[in-house]
């Protein structure tokens, strides 16, 4: 006997995945990253379940043309450590975008995902490319509106 008000929880095998493309030319990093994180989690779907990877794949092209507001290009710092004494390294956002724009996007989206094992699965569905081309034409990706 079923009741009228039942909650459907998405199962791992019944999730349907789509591919989306985002052209990052002249878009604000934080605004794009929040939308991408939402799509990676699957929050845009009616079958969203917080503990299941129900999201879609996202391809970001033209990552080197992203914009940051204010003076963040020169004041925002990215840190990492070499695990040796005195091995703390820093770079500004301008240096990171000129050297590794893919890493800037990955870090921005990573910070907006939940801090658990699921986020490690979700971040693998993010594909970032600094130029205008990508090798995922076979998946027939759709444009993601921003």
Q: Is residue 44 part of a domain?
A: yes
Q: Tokens in use for 89?
A: 């390294």
What per-residue confidence (pLDDT) applies to 12? 84
Question: Is 26 a member of any domain?
Answer: yes
Residue 7: pLDDT band with limits 50, 70, 90: confident
Range of the domain at 23: 19-68+102-143
The string of pLDDT tens digits covering residues 19-68 is: 999 999 999 999 999 999 999 999 999 889 999 999 999 999 999 999 99
> 77 lies in a domain?
no
CATH of the domain at 56: 3.90.1180.10
Q: Is the pLDDT of residue 1 over 70?
A: no
Does residue 80 lie within any of the structural domains? Answer: no
Give every CB contact of residue 27 below 8 A, 6+ residues apart in sequence: 66, 67, 146
What is the Cα–Cα distance from 27 to 105, expressed in whole angstroms? 12
User: Does some domain include residue 124?
Assistant: yes
74 domain residue, yes or no: no
Least confident of 60-64, 123-127, 142-146: 142-146
Number of domains in the chain: 1
pLDDT of residue 114: 94
Structural domain contains residue 76: no
Residues 67-119 have pLDDT tens digits of: 999 999 999 999 999 999 999 999 999 999 999 999 999 999 999 999 999 99
Residue 121's pLDDT band, with cuts at 50, 70 and 90, is very high
Concatenating the DSSP letter of every residue in 64-95 gives GG-B--TTHHHH-EEEEE-SSTT-EEEEEHHH
pLDDT band at 10 (very low <50, low <70, confident <90, very high): confident
The answer to whether residue 6 is domain-embedded is no
């Amino acid at each position: 006997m079923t009741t009228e008000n039942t909650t459907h929880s998405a199962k791992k095998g019944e999730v349907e995945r789509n591919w989306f493309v985002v052209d990052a030319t002249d878009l604000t990093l934080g605004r794009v990253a929040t939308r991408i994180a939402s799509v990676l989690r699957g929050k845009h779907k009616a079958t969203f379940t917080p503990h299941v990877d129900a999201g879609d794949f996202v391809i970001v092209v033209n990552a080197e043309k992203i914009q940051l507001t204010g003076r963040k290009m020169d004041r925002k710092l990215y840190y990492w450590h070499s695990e040796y004494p005195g091995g703390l390294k820093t770079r500004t956002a301008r240096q990171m975008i000129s050297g590794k724009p893919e890493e800037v996007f990955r870090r921005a989206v990573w910070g907006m995902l939940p801090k658990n094992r699921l986020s490690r699965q979700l971040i693998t569905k993010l594909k970032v490319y600094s130029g205008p081309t990508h090798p995922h034409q076979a998946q027939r990706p759709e444009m993601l509106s921003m």
